[in-house]
Structure 1
Amino acid sequence: MLIADGWYSLATYFRTGGPVMVPLLLVSLTMWLLIAERALVLRRLSVHTFSGPAALKCIHEKQLPESQDGGAVGVLILCFLDRCSGDPNLDRNILDELVLSLNRSLTKYLPLIGVLAAIAPLLGLLGTVTGMMSTFDVMSLFGTGDAKGMAGGISEALVTTQTGLIVAIPGLYMKNFLERRAQALRRQLTVTGFYLRRHLQEAPC
């Protein structure tokens, strides 16, 4: 019974918001799917950490420890072992390319999440405009005597504005949170990459 009442209330809420609620719903679903994907990926890459000497040891042994098969640096090591040539100069270039590629992959979808979060309040504003237009249409036909018709347009304006902000605020927060996680991993990869680059000349893989 409670579930049915909840669905009815939600359906009523969306009907009140008018046609703009459909793109708002699509924006929200897309944004949160991307947020969930990025959160899972960044969490997996943050599981294990390697110091520079530990990473260099793994390269010389040509494998990761069995207990540590994940993490951003672990991915860097595995990719490097798959492509290393034994030539120190070429290997340094390979390492630089891998660090840049992995750093770019960490921020994948984050700009799109920010765009979707910014679009939501604009869609809410569009709903505000359409709602007020409906209200003025009722007023032009019936004056101020049709309170129910006027209330429908005002409700549409307020509901869409509210929904746009509800979608945008947590979306922007999560985008900034994920960016901080990605930046921390990028710093870790960059520092480890510099360490490995410096020592590959002395002890090639």
Structure 2
Amino acid sequence: MLVLIEIWESVRDFVATGGQVLYVVAIALFLMWVLMIERYWFLTSVFPKMKKGIIANWDARQDTTSWYAHRIREAWISEASEKLDERMLLIKTLVAVCPLIGLLGTVTGMIAVFETMATQGTGNARLMASGISMATIPTMAGMVAALSGVFFSTRLEAKAKMAKNKLIDSLPHH
């Protein structure tokens, strides 16, 4: 229990140093990871069952060579592809927004520095340092959040593309 309290206090100190913008970065990061975990779950648990159903429906068809059969095959592939690509645009958007949120923290931190300079003068370095911390920490947090998302979202996209190609290969057209 003591470890949890220490972790909570260190997170609270980090947020106090970096400013309120870190909460927005944390929310974006949390949402991004929830969506990526959902996509991994879909690719490993749901899509294989969907793929088996599509293959079973294709194999059960009498006609697999006519123009109509090819259009039905294309429609099934298109529907599966749409399911595979669901929420990927939102994940990519969150990845792109994280550094921008960090930059918002930079702006608010610099405003705090300028306010300190305007009211206290340039002689109080300690007050200016807190504003500079508030300017740099959110930028760093936004970049770290984006980097974690870039790697895993790219991997997710590659897995989805591979799953789609395997589905296409599993539906032979004569």
Short-chain TM bin: 0.7 to 0.9
- Give the deviation of 1:92 after TM superposition: 3.5
State whether residues 132 and 157 of structure 1, in contact with CA within 8 Å, keep that contact through their aligned partners in structure 2: yes
1:3 corresponds in structure 2 to 4
Letter in 1 for 2:34: L
Say whether the 8 Å CA contact 2:55–2:170 is kept in structure 1: no
Q: CA 1:157–1:79 in 2, change beyond 3 Å: closer, same or farther?
A: farther
Residue 126 (structure 2) aligns with: 148
Q: Give how far 1:158 is off.
A: 1.2
Per-residue displacement from partner, 1:113-151 (whole Å, max 9, x unpaired)?
111011000110111111011101101221222222111
User: Deviation of residue 152 (structure 1)?
Assistant: 1.4
Q: 2:113 aligns with which of 122, 135, 160?
A: 135
Q: TM-score, normalised by structure 1?
A: 0.76
Per residue, is there more helix in 1 or in 2? 2
1:174 pairs, out of 132, 152, 171, with 152
Contact 2:106–2:139 (Cα < 8 Å) also in 1? yes
Aligned length: 171
Where do 5+ consecutive residues of structure 1 fail to align? Answer: 47-69, 199-205
How far off is 1:94 after superposition?
Answer: 2.1
Pairing 1:12-27 to 2, within 5 Å after superposition: 12-27=13-28
Percent of aligned positions that are identical: 30
| Aligned CA-pair RMSD | 2.1
Unaligned runs of 5+ in 2: none
**Which string of whole-angstrom CA distances, capped at 9 and with x for unpartnered residues, describes residues 35-60 of structure 1?**
000011112367xxxxxxxxxxxxxx
Question: Are 1:184 and 2:150 matched, yes or no?
Answer: no
Structure number with bigger Rg: 1
TM-score where L is the length of structure 2:
0.88
Equivalent residue in structure 1 for 2:53, among 75, 82, 88: 75
